[in-house]
Structure formats: C-alpha cells, structure tokens
Amino acid sequence: MAHHHKSNEQVEGSPLTGHGDGMPRRPDEDGLQERAQVDRLVAGVPLDPAEDPEAERAGAEHEAEAAHEAEDEDAGKGFPPTRYDG
C-alpha cells in the first residue's frame, strides 16, 4: 500500500463536513527539499541544483562531435570500397 504524505484525516477530510483540507498554504520546506533530492536522484540529474547541466551537456556534445570527426577521418575517402565491382 502506498504511503501517504498526509494523515488519513487530511486526505479524506472532516467526517462532519465531508470536505478535505486541500493543499497546505505553505509546504513544509524540509519535506520539499527531501522530495526534490529523491526526484533528482530518480531523474538522474545532479543532486546539487547549483551545478549547471547546460555546461555538462555542451561538454558531452563537444566530446561526441570530436569522436564523430575522428571516425570520419578513419573512414577514408572511397565509398563503397574499391574491392567491389559494380
């Protein structure tokens, strides 16, 4: 069974009125930080929000482009290979 972040009374509402309390006016900061850390971990993003994911992405793209250029140099100029007779 799933664990609720709220008590059953908060989820189900008051038995006298049948209305729930809804969202709290101000979320619990500690709870928000903890949930954000878990979400970052699950999503595979850095746990420290100060890290710049765009800089990491640009570095990875540069590495991939350099590897692709190296593969192009290894491929040579003739395509298809000359050993095939058309």
Over the Cα atoms of the chain, what is R_g? 28
Does any domain span residue 49?
A: yes
Does any domain span residue 35?
A: yes
Does any domain span residue 62?
A: yes
Structure confidence at residue 55 (pLDDT)? 74
Does any domain span residue 4?
A: no
Structure confidence at residue 24 (pLDDT)? 63
Dihedral sign for Cα atoms in the order 24, 30, 33, 38: negative
Domain that holds residue 37: 29-73
Structure confidence at residue 80 (pLDDT)? 63
**pLDDT, mean of residues 72-82:** 62
Task: Report the number of distinct structural domains present in the chain.
Answer: 1
Alpha carbon distance 74, 72 (integer Å): 5
Does any domain span residue 22?
A: no
Structure confidence at residue 19 (pLDDT)? 62
- The overall pTM is greater than 0.75: no
pLDDT tens digit string along 6-64? 666 666 666 666 665 666 667 788 888 888 889 988 988 777 766 666 777 787 888 88
